[in-house]
Amino acid sequence: MSPPSRDLLAAYDPETFRELGHQLVDQLSEYLARATGANDLPVLPWVPPSTNVERFPAQFPEEPSGDFLALMNRVLAGSNHLHHPRYVGHQVTAPLPLAALSDMVSALLNNGGAVYEMGPVSSAMERNVLRWMADLLGLPAEAGGVFTSGGSAGNLTALLAARQAKAGYDAWNGGAHAGPPLTVLVPESAHYCVSRATRIMGWGEGGVTPVPVDASFRLRPDALEGALMAARRAGRHPIAVVGSAGSTATGAFDPLEAVADFAQAHDLWFHVDGAHGASTALSPKYRAQLKGIERADSVVWDAHKMMLMPALVTAVLFRDGARSFDAFSQEASYLYHGDDPRPWSDIGLRTLECTKLMMALKVYVALSVLGTRAFGDYVTQTYDQARRFADRLEASGDFELAVRPDCNIVCFRHTPRGVAAEQLDALQARLRERVIQRGDFYLVQTRLPRGVFLRVTLINPLTRDEDLEALLEALRGVA
């Protein structure tokens, strides 16, 4: 075998790494100062997709270019700046710099988490961080779970386990048609990934039975019985009921206690999609909104939303930790050894991923170094701010609040005089487009029963009330 090339050896040179690393951290620090200071930096430097395709062509040199820092500068300049105080868009947080540094360590070590031998430290960290999260939610001592890549994978993992537990037949080995067609009772306000999960499992359109929500977009407990009967009349076998803790569109929290009562009475698996809102458990002021979550059979919790982590790191927690092995029940002797068929330390037995990032590292580091109180204060701060913003909207006279916020998601629309009701939807879309293209703010929109509404997620801890007042003025200005 010939030795590695000179260029490849140079790419692994520790001194080169040290020099580039110092320069990169300086570059990122300067960027962070600009982004958080929000001086002349647009939130999103908008260009059409075709422009960026041209800016980053698939033309790579044959020889080393030494272009790393210049390339990183172009990446920073052209990206969406989530640390900007006027980023109030999707539920993707402004990551803690400490967590970003942890991700660099993870990327260099590249210790996958399928088997303990490949990720000994991260496996232990994952077990203990999950135990801490389960305790916060009030789950019993036998609770357990896994980290996986996002809420979509998390909800799929939980529902796969629910299927094995409640289907009445072995769907994993026998297939989706080894028994009667299954369904899950899901609030109309739930994230689309729940329906996607049931379709992945082969249940088709009827895999989700919708449950009506009230005027505040919360599941109506009185509608559960009717949904159950409708599913059975359609020839479906209901196995689970889903509750939302912080729905995506409006941030609504379903009445989890009542849903838990219903699930228990009908022997259904109770799953809570707490991707956004499970972090409410960190806030002494607001944790009561999660009452009933401690009775869930499974919970999904995204740390990359309200725990300030870089994406992706999603906890899938099971009331009975042994159920975490039910989602993926396979034999793979080339990976898993030993007499114990269900070792907690071989995480790949319980996740969609085989090669998995050291997801727990950044969470463990942040909790260890910064302490837990900072996270609780952050959740409380953003929820308080959303309520103040809602008050401002209601008092404005030219903005309409869709619903009082349960968390840090606020939906509203501009209703200036002289605009007919049938023109309001188009107005909101145009306002959003103009504001984004100017780079002043980044916000999104959603469609509710009354029409199109603008939507902000107050997820950046550096966003001030003054920024939100400036957002209203910007919308008025372009109206």
Task: Kindly report the three-state secondary structure assignment for every residue of the chain.
Answer: CCCCCHHHHHHCCHHHHHHHHHHHHHHHHHHHHHHHHCCCCCCCCCCCHHHHHHHCCCCCCCCCCCCHHHHHHHHHHHCCCCCCCCECCCCCCCCCHHHHHHHHHHHHHCCCCCCHHHCHHHHHHHHHHHHHHHHHHCCCCCCEEEEECCHHHHHHHHHHHHHHHHCCCCHHHHCCCCCCCEEEEEECCCCHHHHHHHHHCCCCHHHEEEECECCCCCECHHHHHHHHHHHHHCCCEEEEEEEEECCCCCCCECCHHHHHHHHHHCCCEEEEECCCHHHHHHCCCCHHHHCCHHHCCEEEEEHHHHCCCCCCCEEEEECCHHHHHCCCCCCCCCCCCCCCCCCCCCHHHHCCCCCCCCHHHHHHHHHHHHCCHHHHHHHHHHHHHHHHHHHHHHHHCCEEECCCCCCCEEEEEECCCCCCHHHHHHHHHHHHHHHHHHCCCECEEEEECCEEEEEEECCCCCCCHHHHHHHHHHHHHHC
Q: What is the mean pLDDT of residues 60-84?
A: 95
pLDDT at 16 over 70: yes
pLDDT classification of 346: cutoffs 50, 70, 90: confident
Residues 397-417: what's their mean pLDDT?
97
What is the average pLDDT across 388-403?
Answer: 98
For the segment 81-110, the average pLDDT, to the nearest whole number, is 97
In the chain, what are the domains?
110-368 (3.40.640.10), 374-478 (3.90.1150.10)
- Quote the pLDDT of residue 2: 78
- The mean of the pLDDT values for the chain is 93
User: Is pLDDT above 50 for 333?
Assistant: no
What's the pTM?
0.94
pLDDT at 332: 38
Q: Taking 60 as the threshold, does the pLDDT of residue 154 lie above it? A: yes
The answer on pLDDT for 98 being more than 80 is yes
Q: What is the mean pLDDT of residues 315-321?
A: 96
- Residue 407, pLDDT > 50, answer yes
38 pLDDT band, cuts 50/70/90, is low
pLDDT reported for residue 341: 56
Residue 156 — pLDDT band, cuts 50, 70, 90? Answer: very high
The pLDDT tens digits of the residues spanning 430-452 come to 999 999 999 999 999 999 999 99
